[in-house]
Structure 1
Amino acid sequence: MISEKSIVGLSNRDGTISPVEFRKGAHLFSEKWKTVCRTHEHDLPPWSWVCCKNPLFFTSHEVSGYLLMEKMCILSSDKIDEREADHAVEEPDCFESEDHADPAMLVQQTSQEAHYYDFHIVYSSSYRIPVLYFRGYCSDGQPLMLDQIERDLPPSSIQALAESKWTFITQQEHPYLNRPYFTLHPCGTNELMRLLLGSTSLSEENVRLECYFVSWLSIVSLVVGLRIPLQLAAYSPEKQHNS
């Protein structure tokens, strides 16, 4: 059981979480994701916890791993970008609709070339929040450059990157893998999380942590074009147990 002293971020409503909260919340979130996808038959890759040694700048009692989603498929096109079409279709929000044809694909275009993405959720000891790291690659393993990744993003993501004052995609070394990854810069994330969760009155610790991760992912998914199941926000362990 986590003591009250360890629940620093959520208790103070400052939008941050502790390393202990991140580790526990990550496991709760990954199990919730798997349950929702299994129950509602979403063909989405699972999130799984990867155990590894702490980076040099982490102390031994902090997070020793990260969440990983591998091989999220995106269909890209070498034709004219659909965003420039005169009759562009309005993009849905970050949550999957019930009748979405293929929830494992972020975009669908005419001339289809498979691109794959790996997403990592890593704890930032400096900002005390989750941070999204990701990389894209072709079916032959060739890595995608930033301009190629931007062409895979839906118009809503491009707009969010252009207009947002707090977030942008940059490239830096992965804290565990020591290889360059693209990352969504975390500055300002805690303020957004504070605004999102400041009015909540959740008393149960597990529910608070699940709510934090779902709320956080709903923000970052808008920027990188990652679709998540609609039921993720509505699902709760109590409802699943009683159904």
Structure 2
Amino acid sequence: MGGSSVRDGTLSLGDFVASAKALIEKWKGIDVDDSLPDWQWKSFCKMGVPSEEEGYLALEGVYNNHGERQVQSSSDSFHVYDYHVVYSFSYKVPVLYFQGHQAGGQLLTIDEIKEDLPSHSLKLLGESKWTFITREEHPHFSRPWFILHP
């Protein structure tokens, strides 16, 4: 994008914003499952004033149906996930924040989230010493969300 990217794997805030907005436009042109929502740029308000640079990329309301898995009640029959890609000023890279909840609104535990992962992702999570998920405060909501460490 801009000339401010460094070759050490980091990204400038401006390049992150430009790349996020480019992804949103490309996503609109891809023929994906109609049940998937669109990626959106969410501006964050500081002191009541929206800041375009302080926003984040969001994919919210992604349904995961447990079709082949036995469930105890109809309220547990599907999980809903929200994904936010937020620029980390500490790491200077985008970081994936996510949370899942049951249809009734109860937040999912890490074990329930792992059950929803594809088998190859779950295997990678267990094998790689550098791939891990933890809880961290979402920088825009001051509530704990899960993050995939950069």
Which structure shows the bigger proportion of residues in strand conformation?
2
Residue 75 and residue 42 in structure 1: after superposition, are their counterparts in 2 closer, same or farther (change >3 A)? Answer: closer
Q: Which structure ranks higher in relative contact order (CA pairs < 8 Å, sequence separation ≥ 6)?
A: 1
Look up the match of 2:3: 7
Same amino acid, percent of matched pairs: 45
Q: Is the 8 A contact 1:45 1:70 kept in 2?
A: yes
Residue correspondence of structure 1 range 1-243 to structure 2 within 5 A:
7-9=3-5, 12-36=6-30, 40-43=31-34, 44-53=36-45, 63-76=53-66, 108-111=67-70, 113-186=77-150
Residue 41 and residue 134 in structure 1: after superposition, are their counterparts in 2 closer, same or farther (change >3 A)? Answer: closer
- What's the secondary structure of 1:141's corresponding residue? coil
Per-residue Cα deviation, 1:181-234 (whole angstroms, up to 9, x for no partner) = 000011xxxxxxxxxxxxxxxxxxxxxxxxxxxxxxxxxxxxxxxxxxxxxxxx
Per-residue Cα deviation, 1:111-167 (whole angstroms, up to 9, x for no partner) = 361100000000011111110000000111111111111111121111111111222
Look up the match of 2:74: none
Q: Which has the larger radius of gyration?
A: 1
TM-score, normalised by the number of residues in structure 1:
0.54
Which structure 1 residue ranges, 5 or more long, are not aligned? 55-60, 77-107, 187-243
Per-residue Cα deviation, 1:81-132 (whole angstroms, up to 9, x for no partner) = xxxxxxxxxxxxxxxxxxxxxxxxxxx4243611000000000111111100
Q: Please report how far the alpha carbon of residue 7 of structure 1 lies from its aligned counterpart in structure 2 after TM superposition.
A: 2.4
2: distance between equivalents of 1:111 and 1:34? 35
Which structure shows the bigger proportion of residues in helix conformation?
1
TM-score, normalised by the number of residues in structure 2:
0.85
Aligned-residue CA RMSD (Å): 2.1
1: distance between equivalents of 2:82 and 2:32? 21
Residue 62 and residue 15 in structure 1: after superposition, are their counterparts in 2 closer, same or farther (change >3 A)? Answer: farther
Query: How many residues are aligned here?
Result: 141
